[in-house]
A and B are shown apart, each in its own frame.
Chain A
Amino acid sequence: MTDAIVVEGLVKRYAATTALDGVDLTVAEGSVLGLLGPNGAGKTTVVRILTTLLLADAGRAEVMGLDVVRDADAVRASIGLTGQYAAVDEYLTGFENLEMVGRLYHLPRAEARQRAGELLERFDLVDAAGRPAKTYSGGMRRRLDIAASLINRPRVLFLDEPTTGLDPRSRLAMWEFIAELSDGGTTILLTTQYLEEADRLADRMVVIDRGTVIARGTGDDLKAQVGGQRLEFTLARAVDLAEATRRLRPLAVDEPRSDEQSRRLSLPVRGGTEVLAEALRLLEGSGVEILDVGLRRPDLDDVFLTLTGHATEDAAAADADTTTTGREPAPTAGSAR
């Protein structure tokens, strides 16, 4: 399979900071790449360079074999972009927004209108088609924005944090749209702060932190790197922890950890649900009373803790000042002020 996106040694510096410090990545045609990282990691900067909005200081990037600097116009004609903020004209209706974008892709008027109609239907915006976008909810705006990026049937689509700020229902709907597009053969690069989102949508993931790639692979690769899954028990009585640990030790692939205060026992294990069944069998007749038991997979914070030795800055900040409310999100280096 050929690569729809090739990025080599991308560097971008701003006055005081280095937003990208030599990023390499490839995206196979027809696949979905999840670009994962906390705020300020440089995700948006990568997207902006690939979509010709920003010039890199070093390195090169190609989309569908076209250089993003030399062949910028040809790149623009073959991509779609949905940025972090829904870039729709508030005063235009949904239909007018899509028609305008179609005309700017140089579709004949009739075709631009027809395409606008199709996309409004597909994104469930037919009822709102004649209303100015100002009256749309956040989820509707985001859908209109994605519809606009699909007008020209792009072969490569860039989605910059497509679900940030959406309510859970809109997020699920967005996931379905993205999965459908991918099934249709569109190559997608999506950025996200959520491992769950990348895991669900992406074939492969690239994790970046402070402008550098710190991990890459499939979701399972990443989780394996982090140490795979853990079996977690919460017991009714703290005194049972020792007995439970003694009985379960044969299953652990690494040192089990127990915590008296929360009455919790955590065992690194390998395998699927059969481990869970085996563990329950080992505890039979021991008198240990179990309140809760589960197999837990690592999330982005676990990935970060393992790979970088520090938590994501957001998690660290949340821990540090839990009393502060309404805290502004950390400014992103990637937002290219």
Chain B
Amino acid sequence: MTSLAMSVSDSLTITRRNLIKVKRVPDLIVFATLSPIMFVLLFRYVFGSAIPVPGGLSYAEFLLPGIFAQTVIFGSTITGASLAEDLQKGLIDRFRSLPMARSAVLVGRTLADTLMNVLTIAVMMITGFVVGWRIHTSIGEAVLGVLLLLTFAYAMSWVMAFVGLLVRTPEVVNNASFIVIFPITFIANTFVPIDGFPSVLKTFAEWNPVSAVVQGARELFGNVVPGAPEPDGWALQNPVLYVFIWVAVFLAVFVPLSVRTYRRTAGR
């Protein structure tokens, strides 16, 4: 077997293994889909009643792309927590003693988590339709919108993979990532327009890649007011390009770093 074919085959074996866990522990799926549904409903009806969106756009239309982004980014912590759990249980030791591709455990993990995100986005879209969110663009553009979300989440998964291999305790991965993910998903255009932010926060929000993911998704789903003025800042004027720059940087840094850490990491 060539080394590429071997990497692909090993990664798929690991992906399959991770998906079997999802099947055996249905709670995982229930909570992975219930919490975004809860978020959609809470924000739509609690905050939506008080947050005015410029241009007369309904809050549901404004909100949904933000919830999509926030949920898939939070989902990346599963990557880190699961790897930490595998380390704790000695499974990484077993994998490392096998003649398999050195990247396969990480590729298989991030791939399985991406598939989970596909499911989560589907559930949120259905919930969105129920509360008044609509896609106003072509199917092609809508698919690109979903791919944008998935690609950014995939890059975040590799960041979290590195964190998981480093801290080695699932609970710590969760707590540590929350204190980073909460601010980056809230100091952004996710739930409210950023025009009213204090200036420092507004600048941060303008260059925050999460804002660009949300802005890009809004444009690709058509959840923007036609003819509305362009947002401030190059990043939000070219959101898709800006997101892909971040994705490239994340992958270029964290794929090699995570694989290197995996190769040297030791179980308990």
Q: Considering the complex, which residues of chain B in the window 236-268 have a beta carbon less than 8 Å from any beta carbon of chain A?
A: 264, 266-268
In the complex, the answer to whether A106 meets B91 with C-beta atoms within 8 Å is no
Decide if the interface of chain B is mainly helix, strand, loop or mixed: helix
The docked-state distance in angstroms from the alpha carbon of A90 to that of B24 is 10
Name the contact of A53 in the complex, choosing from B16, B17, B21, B266 (C-beta under 8 A): B266
B9 touches A103 (CB 8 A): yes
Within 8 A of B (CB), among A36-86: 48, 51-55, 73-74, 76-77, 79, 81, 83-86
Residue A92 lies at the interface, judged by CB distance under 8 Å to chain B:
yes
Query: Are A52 and B266 closer than 8 Å at their CB atoms?
Result: no
A52 to B96, CA, bound (A): 8
Total interface residues on A, CB under 8 Å, equals 34
Q: A241 on the interface (CB 8 Å rule)?
A: no
Q: Contact at B20–A91, with CB atoms within 8 Å?
A: yes
Which of A55, A87, A100 is the one whose CB lies under 8 Å from B93? A87
| Also in contact, A85 and B90, with CB within 8 A (given A53-B96, A105-B98, A106-B6) | yes
Chain B 78-108 interface 0/1 with A at a Cβ cutoff of 8 Å (1 = within)? 0000000000011101111111100010000
Inter-subunit contact A101/B98 (CB<8 Å):
yes
**CB-defined interface of B13-27 with A at 8 Å, one 1/0 digit per residue?**
100110011001100
- Tell me if B94 and A79 are in contact (CB < 8 A): no
Check if A87 sits within 8 Å of B266, measured CB to CB.
no
Closest to A79 in B: B97
A104 at interface (Cβ–Cβ under 8 A)? yes
A48 touches B100 (CB 8 A): no
The answer to whether the Cβ of B61 comes within 8 Å of any Cβ in the partner chain is no
A87 touches B90 (CB 8 A): yes
The reply on A96 being an interface residue by CB < 8 A is yes
Contact B266–A91 (Cβ < 8 Å) = no
Within the complex, the shortest CB–CB distance from B96 to chain A, in Å, comes to 6
Known A-B contacts A85-B268, A132-B24; the reply to A106 vs B9 at CB < 8 A is yes
Say yes or no: A336 contacts B266, CB within 8 Å. yes
**Which of chain A's residues 99-146 have a Cβ closer than 8 Å to chain B?**
100-101, 103-106, 132
- A18-B25 Cα distance, complex, nearest whole Å: 43
Which residues from A are CB-within-8-Å of B99?
Answer: 73-74, 76-77, 104-106
Q: Which residues of B in the span 2-58 have a Cβ within 8 Å of any Cβ on A?
A: 6, 9-10, 13, 16-17, 20-21, 24-25
In A278-336, the 8 Å CB interface with B consists of 335-336
Verify if A89 is at the interface (C-beta below 8 Å from B): yes
Contact partners of B200 in chain A: CB under 8 A: none
In the bound complex, what is the Cα–Cα distance between A135 and B172 (angstroms)? 27
Q: A91-B25, A337-B268 are in contact. Are A104 and B95 (CB under 8 A)?
A: yes
Chain B residues within an 8 Å CB radius of A92: 17, 20-21, 24
| Contact indicator A90/B97 (Cβ below 8 Å) | no
Question: B97–A52 contact, CB under 8 A?
Answer: yes
Residue pair A54, B266 in contact (C-beta under 8 Å) = yes
Query: In the bound complex, what is the Cα–Cα distance between A212 and B90 (angstroms)?
Result: 26
A148 engages B94 (CB within 8 Å) = yes
Question: A51 contacts which chain B residues (CB < 8 A)?
Answer: 97
Indicate whether B179 reaches chain A with its CB closer than 8 angstroms. no
List of A residues within 8 angstroms of B17 by Cβ: 89, 92, 96, 100
Q: Which residues of A contact B9 (CB under 8 A)?
A: 103, 106
A70 shortest CB reach to chain B, Å: 15
Contact A104 B13 (CB under 8 A): yes
User: Which residues of chain A come closer than 8 Å to B91, judged between CB atoms?
Assistant: 87-89
From the candidates B6, B13, B25, B267, name the one contacting A100 in the complex (CB within 8 A).
B13
CB-CB under 8 A from A104, the residues of chain B are 10, 13, 95, 98-100, 104
Bound-complex Cα distance A100 to B105 (A) = 12
State whether B268 touches A53 (Cβ < 8 A): no
Pick the residue among B90, B98, B104 that contacts A83 (CB under 8 A).
Answer: B90
B228 at the interface (CB under 8 A from A): no
Among candidates B16, B25, B93, B97, residue contacting A76 with C-beta atoms closer than 8 Å = B97
Chain A residues near B6 (CB-CB < 8 A): 106
Q: In whole angstroms, what is the CA distance A103 to B104 when docked?
A: 12
On whether the beta carbons of B24 and A335 are closer than 8 Å, the reply is no
Contact B95 A83 (CB under 8 A): no
Check if A106 sits within 8 Å of B1, measured CB to CB.
Answer: yes
Instruction: Report the Cα distance A86→B94, complex, angstroms.
Output: 9
B266 x A96 contact (CB < 8 A): no
> A85-B267, A101-B94 provided; 20 other pairs, C-beta below 8 A?
A48-B266, A53-B96, A53-B97, A55-B264, A81-B97, A83-B267, A87-B94, A87-B267, A91-B24, A92-B20, A96-B17, A96-B20, A100-B13, A100-B17, A104-B95, A104-B98, A105-B100, A106-B100, A336-B267, A337-B266
14 contacts between A and B (CB under 8 A): A53-B93, A53-B267, A83-B90, A83-B94, A84-B90, A87-B89, A87-B93, A91-B25, A92-B17, A100-B17, A104-B13, A104-B95, A104-B104, A106-B100
Of all A-B residue pairs in the complex, the 10 with the closest CB atoms, nearest first, are A87-B94, A87-B90, A77-B99, A91-B21, A76-B99, A85-B90, A81-B97, A104-B100, A91-B24, A336-B266
Interface residues of A (CB under 8 A from B): 48, 51-55, 73-74, 76-77, 79, 81, 83-92, 96, 100-101, 103-106, 132, 148, 335-337
